Amino acid sequence: MTATVRAPAQSTGQVPGPVRATLLVVEGLWTWYRRHWRSTLVSSVLQPLLYLVAMGVGLGTFVDAGGRGARTVPELAGASYLQYIAPALLVAAALQNAAGEATYPVLSGFKWQKNYWAVTATPITPHQLAHGSLLWIAIRVAVSGAAYLLVAALLGAVAGPGALLALPVAVLTAMAFAAPLAAFAATTRSGGEGFNVIIRFVVLPMTLFAGTFFPVEQLPALVRPLAWVTPLWHGTELARGLSLTGVPPLAALGHVGYLVVWLAVGVVVTRWRFRVRLTT
């Protein structure tokens, strides 16, 4: 046993610039993913496809056969129910997956595995770690979304090339919701019981009632505003409109603006919570 480590007159360590540092965090997470991606496939790609087939093909047969409401929904005029829900399910699945990635894995970095402390003991700063972690979630949902879209197209669920625009919309919507959630996870000290509450009482009802399967106009007027404040509704409107009928520019701007505000606030608060927790 003669292993030695050479005497360090000068360390080889460098300070990566802010963009490079962010990408290095992504690279670290990618290293994890390369090893474990199979375990993530079911929830990220397969699950939304199952919904698409069950609802779009199964239930869609009844809807297309002339459900009373169907004739009054403009997006359904030139498209099948399958094509109607395909972009919405893309957005909903992206949001759900991003929500999952922004909660337990983030809390684990602070609390169980504590590897965030390992990262910020290097030249990487807490802000860069926050940026990289969020960017990674965005990349993940973008890739899953693309895979979903491909299969959906093969199933005849994609009406036209406009569906390609639904992908960035899905990523934006997912991150608009996930960024504030990451801030919450970074603030959480308990075992993450709050996450289940959010999944059950926010994400699930949002998916069911904020326009994924039917227009919110079908809801009682009193509860419609509840759907309108969710990022999911804005993302769904936008993605569906772009995929099927097109969206008036002003409406599109409104939806994007609303989502960007959520995202921006989420990123700022996440940065702040990362820094506070990692530099006590």
Contacts 24+ apart (CB under 8 A), 216-220: 218/69
Question: How far is it, in rounded angstroms, from Cα 94 to Cα 241?
Answer: 17
- Tokens at 89, concatenated: 């399910």
Is 16 an interacting residue with respect to another protein (CB under 8 A)?
yes
Rounded to 5 degrees, φ, ψ at 238 are: -65, -50
- Could you tell me how many residues of this chain bind another protein (CB under 8 A)? 39
Between residues 128 and 230, which has the closer beta carbon with respect to another protein? Answer: 128
Between residues 22 and 207, which has the closer beta carbon with respect to another protein? Answer: 22
Confirm if 119 and 24 have CB atoms less than 8 A apart: no
State the maximum Cα–Cα separation within the chain, in Å, rounded to a whole number. Answer: 82
Is 65 an interacting residue with respect to another protein (CB under 8 A)?
no
DSSP characters for 195-254?
HHHHIIIIIHHHHHHSSSSS-GGGS-TTTHHHHHTSHHHHHHHHHHHHHTT---HHHHHH
Of the candidate residues 69, 123, 156, 246, the single one contacting another protein (CB under 8 A): 123
- Tokens at 39, concatenated: 């375990």
Is 3 an interacting residue with respect to another protein (CB under 8 A)?
yes
Between residues 39 and 190, which has the closer beta carbon with respect to another protein? Answer: 39
Burial bucket for residue 59 (CB in 10 Å: 0-12, 13-18, 19+): middle
- Which among 98, 49, 82 has a CA at the least distance from the CA of 240? 82
Is 20 an interacting residue with respect to another protein (CB under 8 A)?
yes
Is 122 an interacting residue with respect to another protein (CB under 8 A)?
yes
Provide the minimum distance between the beta carbon of 47 and another protein in the complex, in angstroms, as a whole number.
Answer: 22
**Selected range binding another protein among 66-74, 122-130, 150-158, 232-240, rule: CB under 8 A:** 122-130
Between residues 25 and 49, which has the closer beta carbon with respect to another protein? Answer: 25
Is 115 an interacting residue with respect to another protein (CB under 8 A)?
yes
Between residues 126 and 235, which has the closer beta carbon with respect to another protein? Answer: 126
Is 15 an interacting residue with respect to another protein (CB under 8 A)?
yes
Is 186 an interacting residue with respect to another protein (CB under 8 A)?
no
Is 28 an interacting residue with respect to another protein (CB under 8 A)?
yes
Using CB under 8 A, list all residues that contact another protein: 1, 3-16, 20-21, 24, 27-28, 31-32, 35-36, 113-115, 117-125, 278-280
